[in-house]
């Protein structure tokens, strides 16, 4: 799962799991968050606010795809070791569009000033209650994958190696449902004609174009026709309403790679060895994403997620909003993808993706650039989660 209206995490399904074909669609569909189920009114949990669209009892909050069980702060592994003050920018951004029941907490957060890690933890403990996230059947372990914002060299005009176009939505997009497939857009004269004049920029590698579509947005280091350079964002605008198919799964099914080789670097390596089959690889995924260009005046600001606020590297995740509302702090207990060292930290649920479905399921936003790409492309780890929700 960077902002398409109203959500950006059209950013993709998770890159790591998408490689294995476990996920569904690269960009989250722009239909907005699901409507909450009708809230029932049992006695409720003393001193604890209920999550929106949830039923409550004395020990649990039940949402459409998750059950939250009351927990203790001591249940959160590594809680005292987190650099919790680093959460504050993401928390304040989430407070720009607060979840239900968060208005009071967000008002106090804006006035909290600069906090140390210990002071930030104390502040949270005084106002929030931890809940363990489970499936409706009671399972507490799930999956975390990673995503990133690609940073890709591009050209305003087709020249030299820059020959692969990124397109704005065609004018006749609404005339066909579904629209032309990826292969048809590459080969049929009528489909190709619909894209003429819709080129935003050109990249050198068709897999770079694909990863932009998988992630839903990206940064372009754009070489202008006058010789200058400009950093812009290619943001999700629409897709062709075709089903998403994993190119990693296609390679596995073709016997070209093993499942343990199905990382994004592994797919790139296969393409380098098999340049004549790259189109075959690309056409196995009929979905195409169209973009719009956005200015990027501050390179330190991440793309907008489904909550409608910029994502913070290392402190924002994508979730299933029927399990965890946007704007909710979430404690993660997992491991680093490359080192297998513990990754235990507080993050904000600020994005989603059509492939991010279920209770104990998250997609971790690593940021932009080469290292985040490496981390995201290999992340497919076990996960436990706790949410922090305001006390009444």
pLDDT of residue 100: 81
Q: List the one residue out of 378, 26, 1, 356 whose CA is nearest residue 209.
A: 26
Q: How confident is the model at residue 53, as a pLDDT?
A: 67
Quick one: angle between helices 370-378 and 264-273, nearest 10?
A: 100
pLDDT above 90 as % of the chain: 73
Pair 191, 182: CB distance under 8 Å: no
For the chain, give the mean pLDDT.
86
- Among 15-24, 168-177, 244-253, name the one with the lowest average pLDDT: 15-24
- At residue 314 the predicted structure's pLDDT band, cuts being 50, 70 and 90, is very high
Closest-CA residue to 4 (of 28, 34, 33): 28
Distance CA 372, CA 148 (A): 6
pLDDT at 25 over 50: no
Q: Does domain 149-295 have CATH number 2.40.240.50?
A: yes
Give the integer Cα–Cα distance in Å for 57 and 67. Answer: 11
pLDDT greater than 50 at residue 44: no
Per the model's pLDDT, the better-predicted residue between 31 and 146 turns out to be 146
Report the pLDDT value the prediction gives residue 31, as an integer from 0 to 100.
Answer: 32
Q: What pLDDT sits at residue 56?
A: 58
- Cα–Cα distance for residue pair 230/235, rounded to 1 Å: 15
Give the per-residue pLDDT at 261. 83
In the predicted structure, residue 220 carries a pLDDT above the cut 50: yes
Lowest mean pLDDT across 64-68, 207-211, 258-262, 295-299:
258-262
Residue 360 confidence (pLDDT) = 98
Instruction: List pLDDT tens digits, range 190-199.
Output: 999 999 999 9
Question: Phi-psi region for residue 351, left (φ > 0), alpha (ψ -120 to 50) or beta?
Answer: beta
Beta carbons of 349 and 306 less than 8 angstroms apart: no
Mind spelling out the 3-state secondary structure of the chain?
CCCCCCCCCCCCCCHHHHHCCCCCCCCCCCCCCCCCCCCCCCCCCCCECCCCCCEECCCEEEECCEEEEECCHHHCCCHHHCCHHHHHHHHHHHCCCCCCCCHHHHHHHHCCCCCCHHHHHHHHHHHEEEEEEECCCCCCCEEEEEEEECEEEEECCCECCECEEEECCCCCHHHCCCCCCHHHHHHCHHHHHHHCCCEEEEECCHHHHHHHHHHCCEEEEEECCCCCEEEEEEEEEEECCCCCCCHHHHHHHCCCCCHHHCCHHHHHHHHHHCHHHHHHHHHCCCCCEEEEEEECCCCCCCCECCCCCECCCCCEEECCCCCCCCCEEEEEEEECCCCCCEEEEEEEEEECCCCCCCCCEEEEEEEECHHHHHHHHHCEEEEEEEEEEEEC
Phi then psi dihedrals of residue 289, to 5 deg: -110, 140
pLDDT of residue 167 exceeding 70, the answer is: yes
Q: How confident is the model over 320-353, as pLDDT tens digits?
A: 999 999 999 999 999 999 888 999 999 999 999 8
User: pLDDT band at residue 265, thresholds of 50, 70 and 90?
Assistant: confident
Whether a cis peptide bond, with omega within 30° of 0, leads into 278 is no
């Amino acid at each position: 799962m960077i902002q398409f209206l109203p959500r950006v995490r059209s950013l993709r399904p998770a890159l790591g799991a998408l490689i294995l074909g476990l996920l569904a669609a690269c960009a989250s569909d722009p239909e907005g968050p699901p409507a909450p189920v009708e809230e029932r009114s049992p006695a409720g949990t003393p001193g604890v606010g209920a999550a929106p669209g949830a039923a409550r009892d004395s020990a649990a909050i039940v949402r459409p795809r998750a059950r939250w069980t009351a927990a203790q702060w001591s249940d959160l592994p590594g809680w005292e070791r987190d650099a919790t003050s680093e959460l504050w920018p993401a928390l304040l951004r989430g407070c720009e569009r607060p979840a239900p029941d968060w208005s009071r907490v967000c008002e106090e957060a804006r006035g909290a000033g600069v906090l140390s890690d210990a002071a930030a933890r104390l502040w949270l403990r005084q106002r929030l209650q931890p809940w363990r996230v489970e499936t409706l059947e009671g399972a507490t372990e799930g999956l975390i994958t990673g995503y990133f914002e690609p940073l890709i060299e591009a050209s305003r005009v087709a020249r030299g190696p820059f020959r692969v176009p990124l397109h704005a939505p065609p004018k006749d997009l609404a005339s066909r449902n579904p629209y032309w497939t990826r292969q048809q857009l590459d080969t049929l004269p009528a489909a190709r004609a619909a894209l003429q004049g819709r080129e935003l920029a050109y990249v050198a590698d068709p897999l770079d174009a694909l990863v932009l579509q998988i992630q839903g947005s990206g940064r372009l280091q754009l070489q202008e026709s006058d010789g200058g350079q400009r950093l812009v964002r290619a943001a999700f605008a629409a897709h062709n309403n075709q089903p998403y198919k994993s190119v990693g799964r296609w390679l596995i099914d073709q016997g070209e790679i093993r499942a343990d080789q199905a990382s994004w670097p592994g797919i790139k390596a296969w393409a380098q060895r098999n340049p004549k089959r790259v189109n075959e690889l690309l056409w196995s995924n009929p979905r195409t994403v169209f973009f719009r260009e956005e200015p990027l005046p501050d390179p330190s600001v991440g793309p907008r997620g489904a909550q409608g606020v910029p994502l913070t590297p290392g402190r924002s995740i994508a979730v299933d909003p029927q399990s965890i509302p946007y704007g909710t702090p979430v404690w993660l207990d997992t491991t680093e993808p490359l080192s297998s060292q513990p990754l235990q930290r507080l993050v904000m649920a600020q994005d989603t993706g059509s492939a991010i479905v279920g209770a104990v399921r998250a997609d971790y936003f690593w940021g932009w650039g080469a290292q985040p790409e490496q981390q995201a492309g290999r992340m497919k780890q076990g996960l436990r989660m706790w949410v922090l929700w305001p006390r009444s």
